[in-house]
Amino acid sequence: MSNNSNKGFFDRVMLLDRRWVFLVLAVVVVSTYYIPMNVPVPASREVQTIFDAIEGLEEGQKILLAIDYDPNALAELHPMTYVIMEQCFRKKVGVIITSLSQNGPGMAEQAILDIVDSTALPKTYNGVSYPGREIVNGVDYAFLGYRAYFELVITGMGQNFRTFFSRDYYDVLLDSLPIMKDVQNYDDIEMVIDISGSNVVDAWIKYAAARYDVKLALGLTGVMTADYYPYLGSGRVFGLMGGLLGAAEYERLADNPGLAMDGMKVQVWAHLTIIAFIIIANIGYFGSHKKRGL
Residues 135-174 as x/- pattern, contact with another protein by CB under 8 A: ----------xxxx--x---x--------x-xx-x-----
219 lies in the site for another protein, by CB under 8 A:
no
Q: Which is nearer to another protein, 60 or 282 (CB)?
A: 282
The number of beta carbons lying within 10 Å of the beta carbon of residue 161 is 24
Selected range binding another protein among 132-140, 175-183, 209-217, 283-291, rule: CB under 8 A: 209-217
Query: If we measure between CA atoms, which residue out of 275, 101, 51 comes closest to residue 204?
Result: 101
Q: Which is nearer to another protein, 54 or 73 (CB)?
A: 73
119 lies in the site for another protein, by CB under 8 A:
no
Helix-, strand-, coil-residue percentages of the chain, each rounded to 5 = 55, 15, 30
Contact predicate 67/99, CB 8 Å: yes
| Whole-number Å distance between alpha carbons of 187 and 254 | 27
Contact predicate 77/219, CB 8 Å: yes
Closest distance between another protein and the C-beta of residue 157, in Å? 14
Closest distance between another protein and the C-beta of residue 129, in Å? 22
Count residues contacting another protein (CB under 8 A)? 70
3-state secondary structure 71-116: HHHHHHHHHHHHHHHHHHHHCCCEEEEECCCCCHHHHHHHHHHHHH
186 lies in the site for another protein, by CB under 8 A:
no
* Residue from 271, 289, 290, 291 in contact with another protein (CB under 8 A): 271
Q: Which residues contact 32 (CB under 8 A, 6 or more apart)?
A: 265, 266, 269, 270
* Residue from 161, 207, 238, 250 in contact with another protein (CB under 8 A): 207
Residues 48-67 as x/- pattern, contact with another protein by CB under 8 A: --------------------
* Residue from 137, 236, 255, 257 in contact with another protein (CB under 8 A): 236
Q: If DSSP codes are grouped into helix, strand and coil, which group holds residue 219? A: strand
CA distances (Å), origin 223, targets 192, 229, 273: 22, 12, 19
The residues binding another protein (CB under 8 A) are: 1-5, 15-20, 22-23, 25-27, 29-30, 33, 45, 70, 72, 74-76, 102-103, 105-106, 114, 145-148, 151, 155, 164, 166-167, 169, 205-207, 209-211, 221-223, 225-227, 230-231, 233-236, 242-245, 259, 262-263, 266-267, 270-271, 274
